[in-house]
């Protein structure tokens, strides 16, 4: 059974999450989970201070109780001042991170994590929106295929050296 459980840098599960890793070739594709969780904490802290509606929810991902990944779902206001790009001129969802430990890759788990994250996104649990975006380094074939297999389409833009993809929700 695959499960998503909320996680933050302040939780004791953070240490386990921090030790998940990707292959050396993937180091340029994704930040270490410690950095991702710190980033999420910082964004949410700034958002709370600014009474700003944007936020990011990180989830640790488990298979039969064993943690193997991280996924981060953001809800973004285009005029935010917490550091998100304005991919769209209305609030939108953004899959900010999807990470499967190298020992668990290539077994269909990335697609399952994306499916579970998109169930949450489609319920619009953080606010209303019509689009969900994500982005990846253009050379990141695994990521590109994972998003394409769910139905994400190339947006055509490259922002911060990452190809943007999107899906209507």
Task: Name the site residues for ligand COA (rule: CB under 6 A).
Answer: 22, 26, 29-30, 97-100, 105-111, 136, 140-143, 145-146, 149
- Contact predicate 94/87, CB 8 Å: yes
- The maximal CA–CA distance of the chain, rounded, in angstroms, is 42
Q: Which single residue brings its beta carbon nearest to ligand COA? A: 110
Shortest separation between residue 15's beta carbon and ligand COA, angstroms = 19
> Residue 117: in which H helix or E strand, if any?
helix 109-122
Tell me how far apart the alpha carbons of residues 43 and 158 are, in angstroms, rounded to a whole number.
23
- In total, the chain counts a number of residues equal to 169
- Residues 6+ positions from 148 with CB-CB distance below 8 Å: 165
Shortest separation between residue 169's beta carbon and ligand COA, angstroms = 19
Buried b / exposed e along 22-36 (16+ C-beta atoms within 10 A): beeebeebbebbeeb
Shortest separation between residue 36's beta carbon and ligand COA, angstroms = 8
Name the residue nearer to ligand COA (CB basis): 81 or 141.
Answer: 141
Name the residue nearer to ligand COA (CB basis): 8 or 21.
Answer: 21
Name the residue nearer to ligand COA (CB basis): 24 or 49.
Answer: 24
Name the residue nearer to ligand COA (CB basis): 81 or 151.
Answer: 151
Tell me how far apart the alpha carbons of residues 165 and 23 are, in angstroms, rounded to a whole number.
23
Shortest separation between residue 50's beta carbon and ligand COA, angstroms = 25
Shortest separation between residue 139's beta carbon and ligand COA, angstroms = 10
Name the residue nearer to ligand COA (CB basis): 6 or 106.
Answer: 106
Helix (H, G, I), strand (E, B) or coil at 139: coil
């Amino acid at each position: 059974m695959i499960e998503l459980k909320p996680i933050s840098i302040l939780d004791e599960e953070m240490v386990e999450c921090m030790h998940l890793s990707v292959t050396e070739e993937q180091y340029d594709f994704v930040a270490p989970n410690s950095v991702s969780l710190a980033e999420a904490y910082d964004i949410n802290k700034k958002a709370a201070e600014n009474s700003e509606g944007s936020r990011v929810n990180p989830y640790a991902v488990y298979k039969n109780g064993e943690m193997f990944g991280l996924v981060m779902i953001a809800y973004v206001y285009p005029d935010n001042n917490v550091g998100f790009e304005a991919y769209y001129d209305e609030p939108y969802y953004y899959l900010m991170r999807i990470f499967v430990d190298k020992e668990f890759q290539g077994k269909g788990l990335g697609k399952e994590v994306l499916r579970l994250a998109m169930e949450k996104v489609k319920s619009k649990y953080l606010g209303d929106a019509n689009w969900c975006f994500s982005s990846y380094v253009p050379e990141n074939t695994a990521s590109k295929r994972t998003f394409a297999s769910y139905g994400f389409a190339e947006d055509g833009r490259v922002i911060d050296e990452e190809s943007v993809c999107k899906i209507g929700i």
